[in-house]
Structure 1
Amino acid sequence: MSGTSQGPAPAADLVRPAITERHANASVQSSEPPQPSQSPQAPQPSQSSQSSEESPTTPAAFSLAPLAMAVVDRDGLVVTANGAMGALLATGSEPLVGRVAADLVDLTSDTRTWHAYREVLRGRQARLRCTRRLKQPDGTWLWVQVSVAPLPEEERAVLLSVTDISANRQLQARLRHLQMHDPVTRLPNRTLFFEQLSAALEREAYDEVGTGRIGLVYLDLDGFKAVNDTLGHRAGDRLLTAVAERLTRCADEAALLRTAGTAAGAPLVARLGGDEFALLVEDSTGTEQLADLADSVLKALQAPFDLAGQRLSVSASIGVVERQSASTTATGLMQAADTTLYWAKADGRARWTLFDPERNAHRMTRQALSSTLRAAVGRGEFVLEYQPLVGMAEGEVRGVEALVRWHHPQFGLLTPNRFISLAEEDGSIVQLGRWILATACRQARRWQTDHPDRAPIFVSVNVAVRQVWDSDLVADVAEILAETGLAPHLLQLELTESALMGSAGRPLQALKALSDMGVRIAIDDFGTGYSNLAYLSRLPVSVLKLDGAFVRGFQYEDGEDGEEGGALGGAGVAAAAAGDVGDVGDAGQPSPADEIIVEALVQLAHRLGLSVTAEGVETDAQASRLRRLGCDTGQGWLYSRAVSPERIAELLGAAACPQA
């Protein structure tokens, strides 16, 4: 024997002597007659009183080992088992020898495990390890880890070991609960919500019993940040907890109202983060059910909250989505809910809004346009059309307004109302505005050169207030005028009344510098914004463009109802649909007050040294009245829609702009 110390014997080594001796004894008994005992005094135990755990051939280490073990033959029957195995399986005094091992530890419950177990018994697979949930005689459940492996140097048996992992499973369950639940409200958190949502969509898509539909109520508290900022985060947490309790009650009440016999339970209530909550409705019966749930949530949150003696009122904005489970995904459903929640906030808050596919399609189109706006300028996708500004007295073209169009490769020809606001939002209006200004000035100079026998016309270009703030507009205009050779007085810049009224600082300084340069400044759509007349004497303005709503309000004489559009004819309807500012107007009811207002504005403008342009002129009767009131120029269907530069060149060659 070596002097080195030996470690504990492996489990297989504990049982190998027992197997070897058992088979050796069986061989001796079959070839030799029984021999008398060498010790007559030693009692011989009877077979009936000997349990499988107390076989004289089993080593003591195997019998006393704390690990539950059993030797199983190649037929799957227990050859021997230790006391720990009997205690773990709670078999009491019932012997395990001869029992089917797979039944003891539930290895037949699924096909995959059962196949792997049989492969180990046949020697075709080295090991099987699996987790099983076993029901004990007293009704309690036990989680165990089962391991099956061949015994070394033993072809006729495998070792089955079973470990109780119930405590670990319970700890894992507690940790998972903490991981999957919000610590403030105790509601399922975002992670668990998405797990449940994905599972629900999968069930609904293939379950023939349910409705096959799913609904989501997605809400956000209005002004919650103010609660945290003013009362502190502790008060905010108490408010979130109180909100969670009310939402849970709403979900429980909704479950009671469900049709009798339905398998669906209460909606899942979750806190997705911050002040965002969601109620998931499986087996939805339609939008009416979701609308009722959203209504109940709004009403539940309307009642004041009592937070440690302090009463607090909050409201919520809610997005509601309901659809077929098979036609959506978790991501798609949440995107729709988030979009609808944004609509509810934009519409005024403290309300719920149902998802609208058409409204969403419009939003998606806006997003697609916004993402390609900047690159479109470089790709040359924009063009300019020009609408004449006609002298009311002589009927000749005095100038044109440049109107931009976008030849979008996917959406076709787009008018300014489809993309200008997007350009202002993302700042690309600076780049686009500079291109419009340069193109319009270049074209105006070309007309001047091509028609030297007539007075040159001016070109009017719309300017967004962001162009004044985000760029050096004065330098841009000076550079473009020098490059194109256009005289400053032949350029008119139009700004809306709301942008001009109240201008101060840099914008006002820029406008004054442009005016001093000789550039004409016009107030577009005058009369629809702030209408602060005191500003007219302070701003460097030379032109007022009256909004077309005033002209539409003129009383028509019999037979002059504005249906026909002069030289434009039927094309006026198309121009109206295009939505160009300054091109056309909406139909309105005649109003004598409008004519009085126009007369007063014209007189006021003239007293201040300003000229007046009327937009939306559609009929001869309107033109006649405007002329009589002293209006200087007109723009609208009566004269022409916005046309190509070539068509303007043709009009410049005529004596006057054609009219009906």
Structure 2
Amino acid sequence: MTGWTKQRVPGMRSAVGDEVVAGVEAFAESWATAIIGTSYVPMTKAEVVDHLRGLTDLLVGALLTEPFRTAAAHEVGIRLVEAHFTGTETLDRTIQLMGDELLGELRRDGDPVLYSRIAALQGALAAGYAQSLRERTLDEQEAIREAVLDARDHAEAALRASEARFRAVFAEAAIGMGISDTDGNVLEVNQSLQDMLGYPASELRQRNLRSLMHEDDVASVWEFYEELVRGERDHFRVEKRFKRRDNQSVWTHLTISLVRDDDGRPAYQVAMVEDVTDRHLLQNRLRYQALHDPLTGLPNRALFLERLGKAFDTSVVSARVGLCYLDLDGFKVINDSLGHDIGDQLLVAVARRLDESVSGDGMLVARMGGDEFVILMEGSTGTQSIVDVADRVLTSLTGPVRIDGHELSVSASIGIVERAIEGTTSADVMRDADITLYWAKADGKSRWALYDPERNAREVARFTLSATMPAALERDEFYVDYQPLVRLEDSKILGVEALVRWQHPEFGRLAPDRFIELAEETGLIVPLGRWVLRKACQQARRWLDAFGDATPFVSVNLAVRQSRDPALVADVRQILAEAALPPHLLQLELTESAIMGTADEPLEALRALSDMGVRIAIDDFGTGYSNLAYLRHLPVHELKIAGSFMEGLRAADGADPVDAQIVSTLVSLAHALGLTVTAEGVETPAQAERLRRIGCDAGQGWLFARPGPPDHIEPLFS
């Protein structure tokens, strides 16, 4: 064999090559057995096998070669017709055999990519076969047409012979033929046309062509016919349906030619009709398989996108469209733990429920792949209409699904998009539905989320910040503001908190709540925190040089990931050394949840920092879940009470007794543990006075100063 297999597997030494060669041989034998007898072919069986071996080689080459192309299968269909394999069963058996046995003979069962390619090759082979058969038929039709026209043009002496030849061709032709006058009254038909339409010749001669036409014929068929009757064209070819006597439809390739009289006026019509019903049904079946999910029977992604595209191809200005993008919650766990067979059965059950809960004109339920489904509503009347669909879907999934003794609960997250078609595209709708599905999952699953352009703008801005943050650190777009910590007894500045800001070139000045969480998610919080610590220590050193003993300590926040960084102690030691800053002028703030999270982890880092002389503070104390018994063993110097407790102390005419008692208890607890207390969020003199009477050591907030650059804070030091 000199085809693909030898080129693909040189020497035939590999197991894969041997399997391919053996598979080609075996399939060629099976193919020959299947189609011998379906067509009259002047070959022995050995010659048929040899011919089909070469065609099998082409198919296998197309199947296994990258990039995948179907042209070889198209050529195989043509070669079958050229070799006279034109029987009615030849194509059906070939298509069926390809689907049933080819991958098995090649030992490639179970490969979903190859199954998809087999379907594509089946379609290409059928198309090539149909094209070649049609061209062959058209050649025969042209010969017949020339014979008909020759009969008129021959001399009188040859008229009888010409008519005899025509009669022989007309009566014995394998395709249906008929003659009518220009009004469409049937004058003569051959046996093939009688068999095709189910009428005897005597009854057909009493019919008009129009009575045989199908009511669903496209307008262009009638336009061609009227032009021919008027003599404006000599012939036309179309694919159309006829009605049989039993009211069944028969699909045909129809060619109608005009016969003129000696004066050139239209006289007769000659129709040649080829029955292509089987071929048409095969094409429909292949199209259905290409556009439907084989597991659930629902329309697939290709058909959905086709329908979505048609929904946007409208001239109706007010047209709207709605979309539900649905993903099953927890399906992967079921699929992985109970097996893919259970998972497939669950998908079938879910598809059935979706199909039952969504019905009506303009509605389409499709499986996009995996556990994702989509519902398209054409001609939506507004947001509520598609929201109602989503609610019905969620309700339909509430009941358990029983499969092989398992009672499975399933829910779904749904992203909803509903909008006017004008001003948007199908791609925009798909993108926004996918985004909204992610929102539904992020919001807690088993729910729907409606597309919100403002939320999307925030998400896009968030993504932009995340993507530009590394470069922003390199470009020095970050800077540090400072806010004083004031002793309530005498208003002396005890310390200043370093607060990082981002001067973004597009979004302007950004507070920490816009980017700190992003920095933690991306891991950039460690280098950013190290940068803030270095800047704060350098500034503290400048203040020490300027103010001497009056210099306040600088307090720097540590994120959770920073506190877990193995290099934390070394970084702090190095930065203090670089800045020549005494350790007691540095305070590190950790949130309550972060510092309490060290209960099961080594505390060497915090102890090492404390032993070094660095102050440790718990930020936002009272908002987390503190282990008070454990708190006394931590190397902590200060508690900072969360600003949320300050709200009840703000009013000048009296404090909220609950908030006042909470703050008093926290202060007493801290003092009992030997810790100082700073209250955050102090904004009014009444708050400051109440905190002072409670015994709180220091306060921080807008009452004393807003965060600002060093030169705004320095006048407060004196």
Q: What TM-score results when the alignment is normalised by the length of structure 2?
A: 0.68
- 2:398–2:410 CA contact under 8 A, matched in 1: yes
Counterpart-to-counterpart distance in 2, 1:28 and 1:351: 85
**1:522-537 to 2 correspondences below 5 Å:** 522-537=617-632
The alpha carbon displacement at 1:130 in A equals: 6.3
List runs of 5+ in structure 1 lacking aligned partners. Answer: 1-6, 30-43, 46-53, 73-77, 150-155, 256-263, 562-589, 656-660
Q: 2:695 is matched with which residue? A: 630
Query: Equivalents in 1 of 2:702, 2:459: separation in Å?
Result: 31
Q: Report the AA paired with residue 712 of structure 2.
A: R
Q: CA-to-partner distance for each residue in 1:350-396, whole Å, 9 max, x for gaps?
A: 33333333333322222222222222222222221111112223312
Tell whether 2:628 aligns with 1:543: no
Equivalent in the alignment of 2:153: 23
Three-state SS of the structure 1 residue aligned to 2:358 is helix
**What is the rounded CA distance, in whole Å, between the counterparts of 2:599 and 2:163 in structure 1?**
103
Q: 1:427 aligns with which of 507, 514, 523?
A: 523
Q: Deviations over 1:416-437 (max 9, x none)?
A: 1111111111222223222222
One of 157, 160, 163 as aligned partner of 1:55: 163
Per-residue deviation at 1:525?
0.2
Is 1:649 aligned to 2:714, yes or no?
A: yes
User: Take 1:100 and 1:249, find their aligned partners in 2: how far apart are those partners?
Assistant: 44
Mean CA deviation greater in 417-426 or 622-631: 622-631
Partner of 1:599: 664
Shift of 1:138: 5.2
The CA deviation at 1:147 is: 8.0
Q: Any residues of structure 2 matched to 1:198-597 within 5 Å, and which?
A: 198-203=309-314, 206-207=315-316, 212-252=319-359, 255=360, 264-265=361-362, 267-308=363-404, 310-449=406-545, 451-469=546-564, 472-503=567-598, 508-554=603-649, 556-558=651-653, 590-597=655-662
Partner of 1:326: helix, strand, or coil?
A: coil
Matched to 1:476, the amino acid is D
Distance, in Å, in 2 between the alignment partners of 1:107 and 1:164 is: 16
Q: 1:167 aligned to 2:167?
A: no
| Aligned-residue offset at 1:464 | 1.1
For the residues of structure 1 that align with 2:611 and 2:441, how far apart are their CA atoms? 45
Would you say the 8 A contact 1:405–1:414 is kept in 2?
yes
For 2:430 and 2:523, locate their aligned partners in 1 and report how far apart those are by CA, in whole Å: 29
Which one has the largest radius of gyration?
1
8 A contact 1:22–1:57 mirrored in 2: no
Q: Which amino acid aligns with 1:213?
A: R
Q: Which has the higher helix share?
A: 2
Aligned-residue offset at 1:224: 2.6
Aligned to 1:192: 303
Q: How many residues align?
A: 570
Q: Distance in 2 between matches of 1:514 and 1:113?
A: 93
Q: How big is each residue's C-alpha offset from its partner over 1:495-548, in whole Å with a ceiling of 9 and x where there is no partner?
A: 111111121566733323322332222111011011221232232222211111
Secondary structure, counterpart of 1:523 in structure 2: strand
- Matches of 1:447 and 1:461, distance apart in 2: 16
In the TM superposition, what is the alpha-carbon distance from 1:197 to its structure 2 partner? 1.9
User: Deviation at 1:213?
Assistant: 1.8
Alpha carbons 1:70, 1:80 under 8 Å: kept: yes
The 2-side partners of 1:130 and 1:538 are apart by 92
Change in Cα spacing, 1:207 to 1:533, as seen in structure 2 (3 Å) is same
- Correspondences of 1:122-137 after superposition (within 5 Å): 131-133=239-241
Q: Which runs of 5+ in 2 are unaligned?
A: 1-82, 85-135, 181-185, 258-263, 265-269
* Residues 15 and 59, structure 1, Cα contact 8 Å, conserved in 2: no
How many angstroms apart in 2 are the aligned matches of 1:339 and 1:464? 29
1:47-85: CA deviations, max 9, x gaps? xxxxxxx9314496786454668999xxxxx99998757
Pick aligned residue for 2:684 from 605, 619, 633:
619
Distance 2:150 2:249 in 1: 36
Q: CA deviation at 1:192?
A: 1.7
Amino acid at match of 1:237: D
The answer to whether the aligner puts 1:183 opposite 2:298 as a matched pair is no
CA offsets 1:524-578 (integer angstroms, 9 cap, x no match)? 10110112212322322222111112233237443xx8xxxxxxxxxxxxxxxxx
Is the CA contact 1:14–1:59 (under 8 Å) kept in the aligned structure 2? no
* SS at 2:644 equivalent: helix
Cα distance 1:133–1:556, how it changes in 2: closer, same or farther (>3 A)? same
Cα RMSD of the aligned pairs, angstroms, is 4.5
Q: Structure 1's 493 and 143: CA in aligned 2 closer, same or farther, altered over 3 A?
A: farther
Q: Distance in 2 between matches of 1:145 and 1:511?
A: 88
Shift of 1:246: 2.4
1:130 to 1:378, Cα distance in 2 relative to 1, 3 A: farther
Q: In structure 2, what is the Cα distance between the partners aligned to 1:239 and 1:356?
A: 32
For 1:643 and 1:112, the matched residues in 2 are separated by 83
